[in-house]
Amino acid sequence: MNNSVMMKTFCGRANPTTGSLDSVEEGEEYDYHQEIARSCYADMLHDTDRNEKYYQGIRAAVSRVKARGERVVVLDIGTGTGLLSMMAVTAGADYCYSVEVFKPMAEAAACIKKKNGFSDKIKIINKHSTEVTVGPDGDMQEKANILVTELFDTELIGEGALPSYEHAHLHLVQPGCEAVPHRATIYAQVVESEQLWSWAQIQPIQVEERTLLPPAAVTQCAGAPSVCDIQLSQVTPSAFTNLGPLCAMFSVDFSTPVSSTPQSHSCRFVVQSSGRAQVVLSWWDLDMDPSGSIVCSMAPSWTYSDPREYPWRDHWMQSVYFLPAERSVCEGEELSLTVCHDDYSLWYSLSAGEQSDVATPCCTCQAHLLWTRPRFGELNDRRRRESYLSALRSILRPDSVCLSVSDGSLLPIFAHLLGAKKVFSLENSGMAKRVIEQFLEANSLRNGVQLLEIRPDQLTSADVEEEQISVLIGEPYFSTSLLPWHSLCFWYCRTALSRLLRPDATIMPSSATLYVIAVEFQDLWRIRAPCGTCEGFDVSPMDEMVQRSLDFRESREAEPHPLWEYPCRALSQPCSVMTFDFLQCVPEQPISSQGAVQLTGRGRCHGVALWMEYRLTDDITVSMGLTQPASEEGACVWSPHRKQGVYFLREPWESTGDGEASVTYSITFDPSIGDIKMDFSVTQA
């Protein structure tokens, strides 16, 4: 056997659509291609504000070191494409050590530095910075006197910035070194927001004359500890009420030794408006120099006097933190907001007095582990819920034997309250079963719904008390779904349950339709746009690597994105491209569809958005994509509860809006794997 040939291995992974265990190619090469193809490096390179501020800070730091008469040695941790290292050398640095742990990125950085003529002054070190050594035989010949890093995420410290800085100051840089950025400051503001709070807690639900209450274990739970990172600019100021001022919670000086030990910081403030303290909005700034004259801010667009000056970015967004419990506050009241952090995460609490060492929030009710934040919002959506209730009212009868198939759904409880004779619910996990049991017990409905932790293909007549199912329902919602068509898992479940359904059984939803629409993105296109050059440096080798990674796949794929966070304009009418009939079983043969979507809007077509709409009854449909027709200007309003699919064209197309150009499509649903292969391109008439 040729040892130079990379061996491929396969591992079993649950298929999100079929529910089966599939063999998936696994190995170093496959993983690298996946990581590169999915990376959003282009967003960072297209972030002009970020790049300019870093360049200004690096030039200033190099000047300060040279003014002291010292040789300028730079350590760049997390170099990525090597852009910041090239900036440093161009600014006059004598030598730069560039550390990058991800092998493909390190290889790309090596190509980029060579292409730009920096081979003699930049050394790429393919290691984690904590493994780098200094000395005659080490990775670095000498300690650096300028530390340049880009180790930050939306939460600032979530990528391990603090331990990396701590190690660097102990082992890799000189005492009193310059740092770019010089410091970071985290800001926070307490607000009341029904919209945001609906992502954290289930609200009481009215079903006929009955009010369905959330379990006390859920309402009293502090929730999941993970940050909710979003494009806060897309949450309008009318959606929340500021209860206090914007507080500077704490700063980290990166030019001095940094500690990664857990810490807490408090800020006292006077309540500006009475209300319910529920949510903390947070973001941070970077001071690129000691004087604070070069600032890179993550503040949302509505904090700008001119929102057009807002520098859009997706690699850094803003954070939403949910307080452990909502608290009524009165105008003029003095409170203390406390932030705590460990190596990687932050959490907040609010009290009348000083606090310290507030325990890390931990979900004890399991609902916050079962449901994502968008799922909480979906369950709290009154309009959506009324669609399902109206559909259930029209199909349920006093003798209905109902079976629900979704993950952690409240539909079976609704079916019982609406008068079904018997209700069974298949739950895919013990956690889902326990969460729904809590709802049943909290509302004295324990005997109203029988919960079954059984796979659909294993369900027997004995499990449903020898009853034939007359009504099969689903939202459909499955926790493993990422792309819109992954919820076709409901179709596979319906097929597996056919033997238990009455011949005249009602299926809700009865069908699903896949829709597409051609769009121009305001900003999201940046994550896939080639860069070519950035700040005068040629970074095209990275573009080439990403393209090879995309070509590594048999066909191009759609990506899941929550489009409510990413404004776009419709350049065509919505077009239904494929319908899946749930009244029939999943077919054995593939389903294919070809056609064209006429470009009727003027603008730059970056690609298409895809979503599913479910037909509950003849006159009730719920959309997981557009929630209303696009405006005359093409503005789109997307469901905030589900991610839509986005297929980026290889090259943007300038649409004149005269209908002479169309986006042609070829779509094939392969029932054997439950996936959709697709191809889109623009043709001119």
Query: What is 95-162 written as a DSSP string?
Result: EEEEE--SHHHHHHHHHHHHHTT-TTTEEEE-S-GGG--BSTTSSBSS-EEEEEE----TTSSTTSHH
Which range, of 90-99, 110-119, 216-225, 576-585, averages the lowest pLDDT? 216-225
Which segments of 450-597 does DSSP mark as H helices, in order?
A: 489-496, 540-552
Assess whether the region 184-363 and the region 511-537+549-684 belong to the same CATH fold. Answer: yes
Segment 125-143 mean pLDDT: 97
Q: What percent of the chain has pLDDT over 70?
A: 94
Catalytic-labelled residue, pool 100, 150, 475, 559: 150
Say whether pLDDT at 3 is over 50: no
* pLDDT surpassing 80 at residue 73: yes
Q: Of 107, 159, 467, 565, which residue is the catalytic one?
A: 159
Query: Model confidence over 427-447: pLDDT tens digits?
Result: 989 999 999 999 999 999 999
CA distances from 191 to 29, 182, 229, 473 (A): 47, 30, 16, 38
Contact between 564 and 627 under an 8 Å Cβ cutoff? The reply is: no
Q: In this prediction, what percent of the chain has a pLDDT beyond 90? A: 86
Q: How confident is the model at residue 489, as a pLDDT? A: 97
Task: Report how far Cα 51 is from the mean position of its chain's Cα atoms.
Answer: 24
pLDDT above 50 for 102: yes
What integer pLDDT is reported at residue 5 of this predicted model? Answer: 41
Domain 42-150: homologous superfamily in CATH: Vaccinia Virus protein VP39 (3.40.50.150)
Closest CA to 43 of 313, 389, 405: 313
pLDDT of residue 7: 46
Task: State the chain's mean pLDDT as an integer.
Answer: 93
184-363: in CATH 2.70.160.11 = yes
Q: What confidence category does residue 543 fall into, taking pLDDT thresholds of 50, 70 and 90?
A: confident
Give 151-179 pLDDT, tens digit per residue.
999 999 999 999 999 999 999 999 999 99
Span 557-594, pLDDT tens digits: 899 999 999 999 999 999 999 999 999 999 999 999 99
Q: What is the mean pLDDT of residues 459-481?
A: 95
- Position 11 pLDDT exceeds 90: no
Query: Is 150 annotated as catalytic?
Result: yes
Task: Please give the C-alpha separations between residue 428 and each of 371, 454, 642, in angstroms, as whole numbers.
Answer: 13, 7, 20
* Model confidence at 335: pLDDT above 60: yes
| pLDDT value of position 101 | 94
The answer to whether 125 and 550 have CB atoms below 8 angstroms apart is no
Worst-scoring range by mean pLDDT, 27-36, 204-213, 502-511? 27-36
> Residue holding tokens 């803003």?
318
The predicted model gives 36-61 an average pLDDT of 88
The topology under which CATH files domain 511-537+549-684 is Hnrnp arginine n-methyltransferase1 (2.70.160)
For the chain, what are the domain ranges?
Answer: 9-38, 42-150, 184-363, 381-508, 511-537+549-684
pLDDT band at 41 (very low <50, low <70, confident <90, very high): confident
CATH topology for 381-508?
Rossmann fold (3.40.50)
